[in-house]
Amino acid sequence: MRESSRPGTLRPQPGGRRARKRRSAADSGPGPANPLLAVRLPAWRSRMLLFALFCGFIALAGRVFYLQGGLSTQFLQRQGEARYARTLDVAATRGTITDRNGVVLASSVPARGIWAIPDDVATGKRDLAQLARLLEVPSTELRRRLAADDRSFVYLKRQVEPDIAQRVESFNLAGIHTSREFRRLYPEGAITAQLLGFTDVEDRGQDGIELAFERTLAGRHGLRRLIKDRLGRAVEDDWVREPVEGRDIQLSIDNRIQYIAFSALRTAVEANQAEGGSIVVLDVASGEILALTNWPSFDPARRDRMQPQRVRNRAVSDTFEPGSTIKPFSIATALEAGVVTPQSTVETAPGWIRIGGRTISDTSSHGLLTVEQVLAKSSNVGTAKIALQLPAQALWDTMTAVGFGQAPRAGLTGAVAGRLRPPGSWREIEQATISYGYGVSVSLLQLARAYLVFARDGDIVPVSVMHSESPAPPVPVLRPQTAQALRRMLELAAGEEGTAASARVSGYRVAGKTGTARKLRDGRYSDAYVASFVGFAPASNARVVIAVMIDDPHRGRYYGGDVAAPVFAQVVAGTLRALQVAPQAPALALAATDATTDAR
């Protein structure tokens, strides 16, 4: 039987839909092949990749074990603490320096340091510019500091006024902090500058008293531990070690006398167009330094304007040939040895003498002089003749006994010993020149101390810049009779018959000696001079020794009697009034007053 077929009925085809698709694809012909499917990779590359991944896994596992296994715990703790904790150095209050009467000469006042952690600073340009204006620091400089290699700490400005620091804190800038500091103040400024010295930005002594007594004044700094949050804000702080405040010191300086000496010296140096000058005032009873000043000076509050030649304490660190101010020691040695008496005569005519092929001369021929007159007239010829009657050792012994050739232990930095060669090497001409102040060098402080032996009846005490209720015991050098004889001679030298009439002071008897010496330059004596005067007052019962040195005066005057003696008179008058020493003599001639007025 055949199958029937009806219109509209579909017959199923062999293979179904998938077969039809395969036939359709086959009928369409061959297509293009995929190149990626055609590449066959070598097996070693897959193994290498697998090995690299395995090595990376092992390295990562080793690193995890190193970090978590305790092998680097201390290092990681230090690194972590560096990001949230900091130990700050906290300055101790520096001790105060006062004069003998309690007047403050140097003190410390609170200040603030502005510092930053550059890694924590996220300040915009506007805030940075505002901070720069407040700190008076150029914006470029501020950005340079914040870009420093040390990203954990940098100072932006030191010793800032507290009110400025408070305004900085009010900005609440991330990474910007303040710390406690101190700033040194010197109320007397240039008057005591070289004596006191100064401190650096860390409040450490750099010169003068500040350096000499650093350990006493500085105390000990403290340590403070600061913990901050992730925004750089301080959240906790505590003391690791509290600071120990510095101790105060009291100097022997009398601020009133210091001002008198400074004013007189500055006026004299400027009036004589000199290179500089110094004054030392000593208390005869104790050896304490009542005043020590120099000109030119400087303002310790303006460190940016400091000049090395102005910072130097000339009275302590500079030496010069003392000239005729050394003659009293030569004559005192001769009196001690019994070679001469005050009334012995010495022939000085014709005003010069030849020794060893060299000529020693006076400014004029004085003829026959007594020993007293030799000193009053300041005769080089007469002094040399007297000194050559002595053993060199005797002259050297006297000079070393009063401190020449030895640095004074006065508590001051920079003190020098000067130059005094051993007597065994002296030739005859050298003994002669040393006797009147050439071939030997001294500081002004040494020279002032040496004159204590005449003001104190032949003994001497150490000089000191510290005030003490119990002075050091004196050391005898000369017999009291010799010291008294020299006092009379030095009073004549400061009188009408001497070379220093302008040293006289109305109402007081004074004694002293002038000095005028050429300056050595490049090993030769030049036309520049050092004018000096050293003396004491009142002559009958001395209270103070005053030494004045004017370096290289011009204006046509260079003798010690013309340049330094009037300054001595001015300082003596002011000092004795400050010490309330009653006048002991009637008013002297008007010439003395005129000389004092000229010094002003």
Residue 17's pLDDT is 53
pLDDT at 242 over 90: no
Q: How confident is the model at residue 462 (pLDDT cuts 50, 70, 90)?
A: very high
* Local structure of 41: helix, strand or coil: coil
Which is the CATH superfamily of the domain at 255-599? DD-peptidase/beta-lactamase superfamily (3.40.710.10)
137-155 pLDDT tens trace? 888 888 888 887 666 788 8
Contact 112, 165 (CB under 8 A): yes
Reading the block at residue 348, the tokens are: 């000085």
Q: Give ∠ CA 553-559-560 in degrees, rounded to 5.
A: 95
Burial 181-217 (b: 16+ CB within 10 A, else e): bbbbebebebbbbbbbbbbeeebebbbbbbbbbbeeb
Q: What distances in angstroms separate CA 175 from CA 83, 164, 178, 181, one per listed residue?
A: 12, 17, 10, 19
| Residue matched to tokens 């109402």 | 507
Main-chain dihedrals φ then ψ at residue 76, nearest 5 degrees: -65, -35
Q: How confident is the model at residue 370 (pLDDT cuts 50, 70, 90)?
A: very high
DSSP conformational letter for 167: H
| Residue matched to tokens 């369409």 | 28
Residue type, 39: V
401-451 pLDDT tens trace? 999 999 999 989 999 999 999 999 999 999 999 999 999 999 999 999 999
Contact 243, 92 (CB under 8 A): yes
Burial 3-18 (b: 16+ CB within 10 A, else e): eeeeeeeeeeeeeeee
Residue 592's pLDDT is 40
- Rounded mean pLDDT, 76-90: 64
Q: What distances in angstroms separate CA 120 from CA 140, 166, 231, one per listed residue?
A: 19, 20, 7
Contact 442, 320 (CB under 8 A): yes
pLDDT at 222 over 90: no
pLDDT at 4 over 50: no
Average pLDDT of the chain, as a whole number: 85
Burial 387-414 (b: 16+ CB within 10 A, else e): bbebebebbbebbebbbbbebbebbbbb
Residue 97's pLDDT is 96
88 strand-pairing partners = 224
Q: How confident is the model at residue 37 (pLDDT cuts 50, 70, 90)?
A: low
**Range among 120-124, 240-244, 339-343, 517-521 rated most confident:** 339-343
Residue 323's pLDDT is 94
Residues 6+ apart with CB under 8 A from 171: 127, 130, 131
- Rounded mean pLDDT, 117-127: 78
pLDDT at 216 over 90: yes
Judging by beta carbons within 10 Å of its beta carbon (0-12, 13-18, 19+), is residue 359 exposed, middle or buried?
A: exposed
User: What is the rounded CA–CA span in Å between residue 186 and residue 184?
Assistant: 7
Residues 6+ apart with CB under 8 A from 584: 507, 508, 509, 538, 540
DSSP conformational letter for 279: E
Q: Which helix (H) or strand (E) holds 181?
A: strand 176-185
What CA dihedral angle connects 85, 89, 90 and 92, to 10 degrees?
160
| Residue matched to tokens 């046509």 | 556
DSSP conformational letter for 419: B
pLDDT at 486 over 60: yes
| Residue matched to tokens 């009846």 | 457
DSSP conformational letter for 466: B
Reading the block at residue 301, the tokens are: 């509050």
**Range among 33-37, 89-93, 204-208, 273-277 rated most confident:** 273-277
Residue 555's pLDDT is 84
- Mean pLDDT check: name the lowest of 227-241, 509-523, 530-544: 227-241
Give the CATH number of domain 87-145+153-250.
3.90.1310.10
Residues with a known catalytic role: 324
Residue 230's pLDDT is 59
Residues 6+ apart with CB under 8 A from 501: 494, 495, 561, 565, 591, 592, 595
Main-chain dihedrals φ then ψ at residue 44, nearest 5 degrees: -65, -25
pLDDT at 5 over 60: no
Nearest by Cα to 166 from 208, 112, 101, 106 = 112
Main-chain dihedrals φ then ψ at residue 319, nearest 5 degrees: -115, 155
pLDDT at 354 over 60: yes
Domain boundaries, the chain: 87-145+153-250, 255-599
- Rounded mean pLDDT, 380-403: 96
Give 249 or 500, the one with higher predicted confidence. Answer: 249
Nearest by Cα to 431 from 469, 398, 389 = 389
pLDDT at 331 over 70: yes
